[in-house]
Structure 1
Amino acid sequence: MGQGLSCVARQENALFSAVQVGDLETIEALLKREANVLNHKTAHGRHSALHIAAANGQIEILLMLLEKSSNPDVLNRLKQTPLMLAAMHGKISCVKRLIEAGANILTFDSLHGRTCLHFAAYYGHPDCLEAILSAARSSPIAVSWGFARFVNVRDARGATPLHLAARRRRPECIHTLLDHGALVCASTGEYGCPGSTPLHLAARGGSLDCIRQLLAWGADRLQRDASGRIPYVVALKHRHGACAALLNPSSLEPLIWPAPLKLISELNEEAKSLLEQALMEVNKEREKNILKGTAHSLPSPSHSESGLDDNISEASDTEVCCICFEQMCTIEVQDCGHLMCAQCTLVLCCHNKPNSATACITPPLCPFCRSTIARLVVAEIKDHDGTDCDIGNVSSSKPRKPSKSRHFSEGSSSFKSLLTVGSFRKMGDRGGAVRIAAETEWMVDKL
Structure 2
Amino acid sequence: MGQTLSCRVPGIEQDLYAAVQSGELKVVESILQLHPGILRRRTLHSDLSVLHIAAANGHLEVLSMLLDLGAHPNALSRQKRTPLMLAAMRGKLACIEKLLRAEATILLFDSVHRRTCLHYAAYYGHSDCLQAILQTAHSSQISDSWGFSRFVNVRDAKGETPLHLAAKQNRLDCVRTLLEKGALVSASSGYSGFLGSTPLHLAAREGSLECVRELLAWGADRLQMDSAGRTAYVVASRRHPLCAALLNPSSAEPLVWPSPLKFLSELNPDVKLLLEKALVAANRKREKKIMKGTVFSLPSPARSESVDDDKLECNSMELCCICFEQACTIEVQDCGHQMCAHCTVSLCCHSKPKTDSQCHPAPACPFCRSDIARLVVANSKTKEEIEKLGEGNHKA
Tell me the TM-score normalized by structure 1.
Answer: 0.79
Q: Tell me the SS of whatever aligns to 1:333.
A: strand
> 1:309, CA displacement in angstroms?
5.2
> 1:159, CA displacement in angstroms?
0.8
After superposition, the CA RMSD in angstroms is 2.4
Task: Tell me, yes or no, if structure 1 residue 241 matches structure 2 residue 229.
Answer: no
Which letter does structure 2 place at the counterpart of 1:60? E
**Which residue is equivalent to 1:377?**
376
Task: Please say if residues 264 and 374 of structure 1, whose CA atoms lie closer than 8 Å, have aligned partners that are also in contact.
Answer: no
Q: Which moved more, 1:102-111 or 1:351-360?
A: 351-360
> 1:281, CA displacement in angstroms?
1.8
Q: Label 1:358 to 1:16 Cα distance change in 2 as closer, same or farther (>3 A).
A: closer
Gaps of 5+ in 1: 1-7, 388-405, 407-447
> 1:186, CA displacement in angstroms?
0.9
Q: Could you give the per-residue CA deviations for residues 359-398 of structure 1, whole angstroms, max 9, x where no partner exists?
A: 77442232233333331122345543449xxxxxxxxxxx
Q: Label 1:19 to 1:42 Cα distance change in 2 as closer, same or farther (>3 A).
A: farther
Q: Label 1:31 to 1:299 Cα distance change in 2 as closer, same or farther (>3 A).
A: same
Q: Map 1:215-364 to 2 at 5 A.
A: 215-237=216-238, 239-259=239-259, 262-263=262-263, 266-305=266-305, 307=307, 312=312, 315-316=314-315, 318-357=317-356, 361-364=360-363
Task: Please say if residues 314 and 329 of structure 2, whose CA atoms lie closer than 8 Å, have aligned partners that are also in contact.
Answer: no
**Which residue is equivalent to 2:3?**
none
Task: Please say if residues 185 and 220 of structure 1, whose CA atoms lie closer than 8 Å, have aligned partners that are also in contact.
Answer: yes
Task: Tell me, yes or no, if structure 1 residue 174 matches structure 2 residue 188.
Answer: no
**Which residue is equivalent to 1:421?**
none
Distance (Å, rounded) in 2 between the aligned partners of 1:79 and 1:169: 27
> 1:278, CA displacement in angstroms?
1.9
Q: Could you give the per-residue CA deviations for residues 287-310 of structure 1, whole angstroms, max 9, x where no partner exists?
A: 111112211121121224484655
Task: Please say if residues 60 and 95 of structure 2, whose CA atoms lie closer than 8 Å, have aligned partners that are also in contact.
Answer: yes
Distance (Å, rounded) in 1 between the aligned partners of 2:349 and 2:100: 38
Q: Tell me the SS of whatever aligns to 2:170.
A: coil
Task: Please say if residues 217 and 254 of structure 2, whose CA atoms lie closer than 8 Å, have aligned partners that are also in contact.
Answer: yes
Q: Tell me the SS of whatever aligns to 2:108.
A: coil
Task: Please say if residues 171 and 210 of structure 1, whose CA atoms lie closer than 8 Å, have aligned partners that are also in contact.
Answer: yes
> 1:161, CA displacement in angstroms?
0.6
Distance (Å, rounded) in 2 between the aligned partners of 1:198 and 1:211: 9
Distance (Å, rounded) in 1 between the aligned partners of 2:171 and 2:265: 30
Distance (Å, rounded) in 2 between the aligned partners of 1:311 and 1:328: 14
**Which residue is equivalent to 1:207?**
208
Q: Tell me the SS of whatever aligns to 1:150.
A: helix
- State the aligned residue count: 379
Distance (Å, rounded) in 2 between the aligned partners of 1:105 and 1:359: 29
Task: Please say if residues 152 and 183 of structure 1, whose CA atoms lie closer than 8 Å, have aligned partners that are also in contact.
Answer: yes
Greater helix content: 2
Tell me the TM-score normalized by structure 2.
Answer: 0.89
Q: Could you give the per-residue CA deviations for residues 140-187 of structure 1, whole angstroms, max 9, x where no partner exists?
A: 122221111111111011111111111111111111111111111111
> 1:72, CA displacement in angstroms?
0.4
Task: Please say if residues 85 and 117 of structure 2, whose CA atoms lie closer than 8 Å, have aligned partners that are also in contact.
Answer: yes
**Which residue is equivalent to 1:413?**
none
> 1:189, CA displacement in angstroms?
0.9
Distance (Å, rounded) in 2 between the aligned partners of 1:15 and 1:128: 28
Identity of aligned residues (%): 61
Which letter does structure 1 place at the counterpart of 2:317? T
Q: Label 1:321 to 1:99 Cα distance change in 2 as closer, same or farther (>3 A).
A: same
Q: Label 1:306 to 1:28 Cα distance change in 2 as closer, same or farther (>3 A).
A: closer
Q: Tell me the SS of whatever aligns to 1:303.
A: helix
Distance (Å, rounded) in 2 between the aligned partners of 1:105 and 1:307: 33
Task: Tell me, yes or no, if structure 1 residue 368 matches structure 2 residue 367.
Answer: yes
Distance (Å, rounded) in 1 between the aligned partners of 2:350 and 2:164: 26
Q: Label 1:99 to 1:26 Cα distance change in 2 as closer, same or farther (>3 A).
A: same
Which letter does structure 2 place at the counterpart of 1:288? K
Q: Which moved more, 1:365-374 or 1:240-249?
A: 365-374
> 1:91, CA displacement in angstroms?
0.9
Q: Label 1:209 to 1:26 Cα distance change in 2 as closer, same or farther (>3 A).
A: same
Distance (Å, rounded) in 1 between the aligned partners of 2:361 and 2:26: 62
Distance (Å, rounded) in 1 between the aligned partners of 2:29 and 2:288: 61
Distance (Å, rounded) in 2 between the aligned partners of 1:91 and 1:150: 21
Gaps of 5+ in 2: 1-8, 391-396
**Which residue is equivalent to 1:80?**
81
Distance (Å, rounded) in 2 between the aligned partners of 1:122 and 1:41: 30
> 1:348, CA displacement in angstroms?
1.3
Task: Please say if residues 88 and 123 of structure 1, whose CA atoms lie closer than 8 Å, have aligned partners that are also in contact.
Answer: yes
Task: Please say if residues 260 and 349 of structure 1, whose CA atoms lie closer than 8 Å, have aligned partners that are also in contact.
Answer: no
> 1:51, CA displacement in angstroms?
0.7
> 1:260, CA displacement in angstroms?
5.2
